[in-house]
Every structure is written in structure tokens, then in C-alpha cells.
Amino acid sequence: MIRSLLAVRLMIALTGCTVSLMSSSCKTNCVAALPPVATRPSAPRGAGGPVPEYHVPRIAWDSIILDGRADESAWDLAPPLSMTNYWPDRPTAQRTLVRLLHTGTHLLVSFVCEDDTIVATHTARDDHTFRDDCAEILFAAPLEGTLHEGLNIEINPAGYWNDVLFRHPNWLNHDWSPSDIQVATQITSKGWSVELGIPFGALAKVVNVRGYDAVHDPAHQDFRLVQAALRAMPPARLRANFARWHRPENAMTIWSDPQRPSPHPLELDRYGWLVFE
């Protein structure tokens, strides 16, 4: 699949009243400053250690409106993830609040990001949104031990996203493009925010994507191995990670530290665990 690249650079610095950008419509709103969030230092590279686990609260579907604001009281049921500054010797000046909820059929994710200078240069589906300020949501099959494939969704502040099946950084399949994924973003005076709603069924259906069988060793087809478990509503558990790229300073905060010498969220074996209540 050919990804369109646009040579348009959008540097947004907002003050005062806030402007939201969601799909093709613009609205105004006022968003409070982020509450303090603990950001734990990352472990020394290569130190290993346990990965985090997060219990995802269940809510009714009508408790949330996916408009990018993440201001409904239902979000207060979800403790914020403890995000790691990828470089332990650098302060995290701009905070990131990440929360998770589920409805039984959908996983709901919100990022609220403080940001002085917003970079959103890519304005097409499956574009290089990771080169912008972006929120990353990463999934892998609920398996212990060595993992071989994952799913990645990268959303920039303008509301454009890249969704991909990957087996390593050089093997990407953009034909995983769920039509029923819901994404909304808002740009505010404090930064930007995003809400994502993804049906659990979209994870189970990845095995139907063209090219999925390009890996002929059945033992390396992780999602096929757990397809029955992923069809449950909700699945009992899931491997996942969550990250934010800060541009233009090229900084990263992440939930489960990949233990690499340079920023890279595609370290499957270091993904944390989501447990669905």
C-alpha cells in the first residue's frame, strides 16, 4: 500500500480559548489543566524485570461520547497509567495522562497531552503520523514468552492515524485497517487530547488480513493461536503498550519500558498486560 506523504508542516501553538479538531469539524471548548501524574523513571537499559499490569474497568457504552475531550466522569473510574520517561536522566516537562476503559465489546483509550508546540504534518490515513506528535496504542496476543507479531495505532493531534500489523520494524502490513475504529482529537490551550474506541473483534479479525499467512510457521502466528480467546467479549487479557512521541524535541514517554538503548515501542516481549474486569 502506498502511503501519501504531504510536504505541509503544521506547527500549532495555541493560547487562550481552545480549538478542537475532530474529523472535518471544528469546535471550541475549555479544558482544565492536567492533574499531577507520577512519572516513574525508566529502568537501566537491559535490566529486564517484570512488566506492568493494568485492570481495565468496565462501563456502559453510553457513559462516554468519543469526541476527543475525555471529560466525562466515567474516565475518573480509570486510574492513569504510570508513564515512563524513556531517558531516566531527563525530566518529563510535558505530562501525559492515559486512561483505559472497556464496554465489553470495545476498548476505550484516552490520552490527554500537555504540549507547548504541537506538530501535526501528516494528514492521511496510514501516513507517517509517528513523525508528528502522536499517541501510540500497541497490542499483542495474550501469550507468555516470545511474541512474534503486534498491532500498532499511531494518532496525531489532527486526528489522522496509521494502523498496521507488524512482525518486526521492517515488516509492516497496512491492510489491517479496521473500518469500525473510532478516533477523535481536540487541540486545546494546554495541548491536545485523543479518544480511541476499538472493537475487540478487530483484533481477532487480523488473521483475515491479506498477507497474514506470509509467515508460514504456525507457531509464529500469535493472533491465530489465541483467536478463540480474542473472540470473547471482552477477552480475559491482552498484551499492550502505550506511548507518546513529543515533537519537535523527539522525546518519548511509555508505559512498559522496552529496555532498548534507543526509543522503540515495538519490543513485543516487554508489553504489559491488560486485565478486563
Q: What is the CATH number of the domain that holds 95?
A: 2.60.40.1190
Q: How many CB atoms lie within 10 A of CB 215?
A: 16
The verdict on residue 1 lying in a domain is no
Torsion, Cα of 68, 20, 96, 237 (10° steps): 20
The region of weakest confidence among 19-28, 94-103, 258-267 is 19-28
Task: State the residue range of the domain holding 212.
Answer: 67-276
Is the model's pLDDT at 7 over the cut of 80? no
- Contact in structure between 196 and 137 (CB atoms under 8 Å): yes
pLDDT tens digits for range 27-37 = 323 333 344 33
Give the span between the Cα atoms of 83 and 244, in whole angstroms: 9
pLDDT band at 80 (very low <50, low <70, confident <90, very high): very high
- 259 phi-psi bin (left φ>0, alpha ψ -120 to 50, beta other): left
pLDDT tens digits for range 168-180 = 767 889 999 998 9
The verdict on residue 260 lying in a domain is yes
Contacts of 24 (CB under 8 A, 6+ apart): none
Give the span between the Cα atoms of 63 and 215, in whole angstroms: 41
The helix/strand/coil state of 207 is helix
For residue 45, the model assigns a pLDDT of 44
Contacts of 189 (CB under 8 A, 6+ apart): 14, 15, 16, 17, 18, 30, 31
Task: Indicate the number of domains in the chain.
Answer: 1
The verdict on residue 41 lying in a domain is no
E strand segments, the chain: 11-12, 18-22, 25-29, 40-41, 53-56, 84-85, 96-102, 106-114, 118-119, 134-140, 150-155, 161-168, 171-173, 182-187, 191-199, 237-246, 251-254, 272-276
Give the span between the Cα atoms of 276 and 262, in whole angstroms: 31
The verdict on residue 128 lying in a domain is yes
For residue 2, the model assigns a pLDDT of 28
pLDDT tens digits for range 177-229 = 998 999 999 999 999 999 999 999 999 999 999 999 988 789 999 999 999 99
The verdict on residue 103 lying in a domain is yes
The verdict on residue 53 lying in a domain is no
14-18, 20-24, 29-33, 73-77 — most confident range: 73-77
Cα atoms in the 13 Å half-sphere on the side-chain side of 237 = 11
Pairing relationship of beta strands 150-155 and 134-140 according to DSSP bridges = antiparallel
Single out the residue of 272, 265, 254 nearest to residue 85, CA to CA.
254
pLDDT tens digits for range 108-140 = 999 999 998 888 887 777 777 777 889 999 999
The verdict on residue 179 lying in a domain is yes
| AA identity, residue 260 | R
For residue 241, the model assigns a pLDDT of 96
Q: What is the mean pLDDT of the chain?
A: 81
The verdict on residue 27 lying in a domain is no
Is the model's pLDDT at 5 over the cut of 60? no
Please compute the mean of the pLDDT values over residues 72-79 and round it to a whole number: 98
Query: What's the chain's length in residues?
Result: 277
